[in-house]
Amino acid sequence: MNAAQPAEAFAIPLDSLELGKRAHIESIDWAALEETAARRLRQFGFDEGVTIEALHLGPFGRDPLAVRVGRMTVAIRRAHARAVHVVPIAK
């Protein structure tokens, strides 16, 4: 966690990140995820400090989410995205 974070940057769950917006991953609530889901997220490169961008939403029920993490685009469900807390990067 970065102490020099500007005061207006609050952490929000990843599924509330606006499409097209970039953010830093602040924390991941690993305990809230099933073991396989947690492992897969780690393998996709989800980690604190990594840059993430919300790209697309599924057409039905706005689920799943397509996000860019590092250089990779991955699809995850909203339920899992909620465990990822991000701080949007101000433009």
Partner 1 sequence: MNPQPLIAVVGNPNAGKSALFNALTGARQKVGNYPGVTVERHVGRAILPSGAPAELIDLPGSYGLDPNSPDEAVTRDVLLGRQQGERLPDALLIVLDASNLDNHLRFALQLIALGRPTVVALNMVDLAKRDGLELDAAKLEAELGVPVIETVAVRRRGITELLGRLESELGHQRAVHGKDLPPPDLVHLQKRAREVAQAAILRETPVRRITHQLDAVLLHPVAGPIILAAVLFIMFQAVFAWATVPADALDAGITSLGNIVGNALPPGVFKSLIVDGVFAGVGAVIVFLPQILILFLFILVLEATGYLVRAAFLMDKLMHSAGLSGRAFIPLLSSFACAVPGIMATRTIDDPKDRLTTILVAPLMTCSARLPVYTLIIAAFIPNRAVGPGIGLQGLVMFLLYIGGIAGALLAAWALRRSVVKGRGGAFMMELPKYQMPRLVDIALGLYQRALIFLKRAGTIILGTTIVLWALASFPQAGPGQKQSEVSIAGYIGSAIHKVVAPIGFNQDISLALLPTMAAREVAVSAIGTVYALDASDDKQLTSLEDRLASRWSLATALAYLVWFIFAPQCISTIAVTRRETNSWKWTGFMVGYLFVLAYIGAGLTYWTAVAFGLG
- Tell me the CA distances in angstroms from 19 to 1, 56, 68, one per residue in order: 24, 7, 11
Positions in 12-41 near partner 1 (CB under 8 A):
34, 36-37, 39-41
Q: Does 82 bind partner 1 (CB under 8 A)?
A: no
Residue among 23, 74, 86, 87 that touches partner 1 (CB under 8 A): 74
For residue 61, the SS3 value is coil
Q: Give whichever of 2 and 8 is closer to partner 1, judged by the CB atom.
A: 2
In 29-57, which positions are buried (b, 16+ CB within 10 angstroms) versus exposed (e)?
eeeebeeebbeebeebebeeebebbbeee
For partner 1, how many residues bind (rule: CB under 8 A)?
Answer: 30
Binding site for partner 1 (CB under 8 A): 34, 36-37, 39-45, 47, 55-61, 63-64, 66, 70-77, 80
